[in-house]
A and B are shown apart, each in its own frame.
Chain A
Amino acid sequence: MNPRDSILKKLSSINSLQKTPAARTQDRQIYQDYPEETKDELIARFKKQFLALAGEFFPVSSYEKAGAHIFELLKSVDSTKHLVELNPLCQKIFSACPELEAKFENIENKTLAATDFADYATGLTGADFLVARTGSIVLRTNSAGGRRLSVLPPLHIVVATVAQLVPSLDAALQNRGFREGDWSYGTIITGPSRTSDIEKILVLGAHGPKRLALILLDE
């Protein structure tokens, strides 16, 4: 018998198992109870969590202002090589700030080996959801230009709109759209890369991005 059938047969041969009904998560109040929050309260909650995680937060009200913040962020790194996944939101920001477009190379027009990423200081991506309760950014490969762009460059800039903000992780994972699409990889990002493996001392920038910046557009 092959190992698969042998394992399944062993597991299926137990007679004493009780077939319990599906457990439900909604039976009891588990999480810290927050009353239904308005848009501004959600933004405030997200901001508080995100800043506590050492994220860099820039709320903006126009594409021009978004572009200006990205410009400032690029100035803060000592390299001129930057990559972008040119999603519709980035495109609108670039249209509003034409001088910004020239700063970035579009990842779609390039075939980059993993080793080529060493030159790039910045990865600019979109996001799928922002989670207020935990200050998290949810990405899937189709919104993030693949798996490497959001993890290899030392500075990760995310552009998102307030419409993408959801109260909890549950709301993001249960969203109808989340499971759809031809994506192979999704990640819930909560702050820049970190470690406390040495005497429990927190250090940012272990292997992933050392800095995480979010431009949040409220039109």
Chain B
Amino acid sequence: MAELLRTLPLADFAPLTGRPVRLVAAAPAARFVLRARGPAAAAAAPALGTPLPAIACRAAVAGELAALWLGPDEWLLLAPAAAGAALHARLVAALGGMAHALTDIGHRQGAMLLSGPAATATLNAGCPLDFDPEAFPVGMCTRTVLARAEVVLWRTGAEAFRIEAGRSFLPYVWRFLEEAATASAAA
């Protein structure tokens, strides 16, 4: 029987380095979308090691796990690929009997890491959000539109972002950022 091989859309894209912007593909990750309210949302905390962030557009990190607020009852959970099955099992056990939806989207989207002094200028080439640290502090995350592609942006450091995009959008988003980085480096 044929083996199913996991292919990574960004596997052939060389990291962008040596500029004011650094762009690298993120390691394969396990991803879940959790929809839950009230008691069910609270019950997920022990399984994650951190309460789900209740403040809009904020991420909570526990070790290698992260929970990103996407909506009032919607979170994106990120974990290293190898930790996904265990996280899923813990969440299923913790949420048993409570109304919730836990969906594995690990292969639906991928991620790239953008960093460097010109990271915000590069993002602003295709995204009108205000990336001033007061308006978009470290730890803020949001779904938004980057060059007409829907992405999830997460500011992981003063000059570092994680960009999650749909699998088929990854090469496009990468090429867009590459071109924008070249332009912002030349500016």
A-B interaction: no
